[in-house]
Structure 1
């Protein structure tokens, strides 16, 4: 015959409670800190928040200007709320506030942009609302190609990541992207990349609900021309061959569009490659302001 044992956690030593909390998540720690003064005190412990910081956070912090905060909790919260510029200002580092996973953004200067250093096609400018000192401004090209790479060893292991182009239209003029599909890709460099099509024109892309489909008509020349008419297209959101996505507004008032997702198993270091291409139409386009490519964890539905 067994007897149930009821444990009053409040009677446990604070160090023991802190050790238990370190096996949960940052969100759980904040919730559990409301249970009692003992839990609240344990939830402030450096031993708890040190577990939520990445093991290489000292190396990451060394790439930025000196940062002095009174506790590990303060450091964690700071890195969740404010991107830290690293790599001479060409990248930013941040933590996901729910699970403490690593997030990076590659600045436009850290990307490969075809003709990016040719003033006729692109120019580099500064914007007050940008994270980095420079953004790339597309003046006019017929061949749009942007690529970026990041080593998977920099990312959190056992984590599903999404990659996002962060951009916005130039208020002084944005053209060539209306109804124009742009190809994006993600995958291990040198391997097979997953590709999809997206829109960079947020407004017109969102309104694209029709496609030209020839109706049945007579065989004469005039009949064929006269009876072409817009027919409502089937929904494309779940079509694997045309996984069309539209830009979404971010909290910082820039736009982003997902390039794809990648599961980092953490087994070995590889180069993750991401790309944005519009090289098929031959149409001239311009007015795109590119801040960079962000790589961040994707939340599960329960979050």
Structure 2
């Protein structure tokens, strides 16, 4: 087990999204992962790589990020898409849907999806994704928060890779 000061994973650098036209791509190592600091639960590659993070097993799935609105177009509606892959031996996803969120402060858009419906061993975009509109006049330091959660069932689940998060202008 890796020695860390916290059982949770926080990237060492602030989240920066790589822009490509009207798309911003966030590497999985730029996300905050509850229980990600414990090798029994997650495999986290080095931050400089494009490798996915791998969920080995958790009963509390919480993967989040936040991005300064100064990096995003004002007044534009954005979609937040998680690209994931389930291993052939993934477990615990039946009757344990994930909730995807995006928003500012208390104003959040939520979507629910059953990952057990996904084809195994294939990188796919979770077909439900939250949308949020960037304020036209944000305050300095305002951020968009987004995440993927499954914290309600208490069941153990594993075999999930998170490849990246794509933010795309509508």
| TM-score under structure 2 length normalisation | 0.78
Two-structure CA RMSD over aligned residues (Å): 2.4
Counterpart position of 2:94: 178
Counterpart position of 1:165: 82
Counterpart position of 2:106: 191
Deviation at 1:142, TM superposition (A): 0.6
Question: Distance in 1 between the 2:73 and 2:125 partners?
Answer: 22
Counterpart position of 1:120: 40
Counterpart position of 1:111: 31
| TM-score under structure 1 length normalisation | 0.45
- Which is strand-richer, 1 or 2? 2
- Which is helix-richer, 1 or 2? 1
Q: Encode CA deviations 1:200-219: one digit per residue, 9 max, x unaligned.
A: 22348xxxxxxxxxxxxxxx
Aligned length: 151
Secondary structure of the corresponding residue to residue 53 of structure 2: strand
Question: Distance in 2 between the 1:201 and 1:93 partners?
Answer: 31
Q: 1:201 aligns with which of 116, 120, 123?
A: 116
Relative distance call for 1:260 and 1:119 in structure 2 (3 A) is same
Structure 1 runs of 4+ aligned residues shifted over 4 Å read 87-90
Q: Encode CA deviations 1:228-264: one digit per residue, 9 max, x unaligned.
A: xxxxxxxxxxxxxxxxxxxxxxxxx621124310112
Q: Which is higher, the Rg of structure 1 or of structure 2?
A: 1
- Unmatched segments (≥5 aa) in structure 2: 1-12
Counterpart position of 1:275: 147
- Unmatched segments (≥5 aa) in structure 1: 1-86, 96-101, 127-131, 205-252, 299-303
Say which structure, 1 or 2, has more relative contact order (CA 8 Å, 6+ apart). Answer: 2
